[in-house]
Amino acid sequence: MDVMALGLPRIGKFVERHVLSIVEYCDHHPEEFEHLRDESYCKSTLGVRYPFFRSPDLIVGRYEGRYRSSPQVVVCGETVLFTNDWYARHYVGFVKYIADKQMIDQDTAAAYLDALSESVPRAGAAGEAGSRGRLAAPAIGNAQNLLVRNVLGRIRPDAHAHGGWESTWSYFGGRCAYCDEPLAAHDKDHVFGINSKSLGEHKRGNLVPACKDCNSEKGDEDFRDFLDAKFMADPATAEDRKAAIFRFMLERDYLPFALDPQVDPAAITALLDQARTRVQEVATEYVAQIRSLVTS
């Protein structure tokens, strides 16, 4: 299910929609206001790395650029800002939080979570998977994702996709392409994710050095949106990073489907979504047939 069909915007906009509800809840439950200013609580409850609320005069050092400068909100009589450090993987945790606090009804929350289970990764999902036990059936989404990656990798294969990494590493000076921090290990990231939304491919021009934090934070988000959010307080740096990555892609003769004026990305996405649906249908069909053989 497409989350957009349920009217779900990007996670940052979704959070913004519910900020006033959170403010109202905190006004009636002051202890929650204290919780949402606590980094450990916000990390364990929402999966975010920064406190949800923070006083403007405390936004220094590593907190700079992690909070929206406007709108400011008044909670329990105190003016604070709320974090903008949200990524798709935080969606599930945030929906569960506002449902638990009764800011949305349970039916709405269930519909959102159902859609999100097919659409976005969850913070901490890998650890939770193990807790379900070895008897849990593999998610059909794994097979769907593998099919999409296979198809995108075969449309216009790169004969040098598995070579030339040292030149890429040198191109970026052994630094993260997103934050420019020096890298100790050769960590990599696909600029355009290899999925039905981003339409990335496994090509040299789509693979850049990336630190673990940026790799994790970006996820499948458009790298331009990611950089805009990461350097919200310094737009010039965001533009410089984007320009450097675009230059790299062009020098490697890589023009992503999403940016190619001769390609209709929506048409490709529609076909890949059809393929994902067929995987689901085929799996359902064969489960039914085999089940009939073993239960008759």
Say if residues 142 and 283 touch (Cβ distance below 8 Å): no
176-230 pLDDT per residue, tens: 999 999 987 677 889 998 888 889 998 889 999 998 888 878 877 889 988 988 8
pLDDT at 123 (0 to 100): 52
Q: What is the DSSP letter of 37?
A: T
Q: pLDDT category, 175, cuts 50, 70, 90?
A: very high
Q: What is the arithmetic mean of pLDDT over 32-44?
A: 93
Say what the pLDDT of residue 138 is. Answer: 54
**Average pLDDT along the chain:** 84
Average pLDDT for residues 252-256, to the nearest whole number?
93
Q: How far apart are CA 33 and CA 131, in angstroms?
A: 31
Model-level pTM? 0.55
Q: How far apart are CA 225 and CA 238, in angstroms?
A: 9
pLDDT of residue 262: 93
Enclosing H/E stretch for 237: helix 235-251
Comparison of pLDDT for 193 and 133, the residue scoring more: 193
| Residue 55 pLDDT | 94
| Percent of all residues in the chain with a pLDDT value above 90, rounded to a whole number | 40
Per the rule left: phi > 0, alpha: psi between -120 and 50, beta: everything else, 180 is: left
Asked if the model's pLDDT at residue 69 lies above 80, the reply is yes
Coil vs helix vs strand at 44: helix
Using CA atoms, how far apart are residues 186 and 166, in angstroms rounded to an integer? 9
- DSSP 8-state assignment for residue 57: G
Phi and psi at residue 220, to the nearest 5°: -100, 15
- Rounded Cα gap, residues 76 and 111, in angstroms: 32
Examine the pLDDT at 143 and tell me if it is beyond 70: yes
Q: Give yes or no for residue 126 having a pLDDT over 50.
A: no
In DSSP terms, 79 is beta-bridged to 74
**At a CB cut-off of 8 Å and minimum separation 6, what does 24 contact?**
none
Q: What is the pLDDT of residue 294?
A: 87
Look at the alpha carbons of 7, 11, 16, 21 in this order and tell me if their dihedral is positive or negative.
positive
Residue 136 has pLDDT above 70, yes or no: no
Question: Which pLDDT value is given to residue 124?
Answer: 47
What's the pLDDT band for 163 if we cut at 50, 70, 90?
Answer: low
Q: Which two tokens stand for residue 128?
A: 């939770």
**pLDDT of the residue at 118:** 57
pLDDT for the residue numbered 2 = 43
Q: What is the mean pLDDT of residues 267-294?
A: 90
**Which amino acid would we find at residue 292?**
S
**Per-residue CA distances from 275 to 26, 151, 258, 268 (Å):** 46, 10, 19, 11
Res. 240 pLDDT band, cuts 50 70 90: very high
Angle of the 91-100 helix axis to the 39-46 helix axis, nearest 10: 100
Span 71-115, pLDDT tens digits: 889 999 899 999 999 988 899 999 999 988 888 887 778 878 877
Lowest mean pLDDT among 116-120, 156-160, 186-190, 240-244: 116-120
> Residue 132 pLDDT more than 50?
no
Q: Cis omega (within 30 of 0) on the bond before 30?
A: no
So what's the pLDDT on residue 270? Answer: 93
The pLDDT, as a whole number, for residue 131 is 40
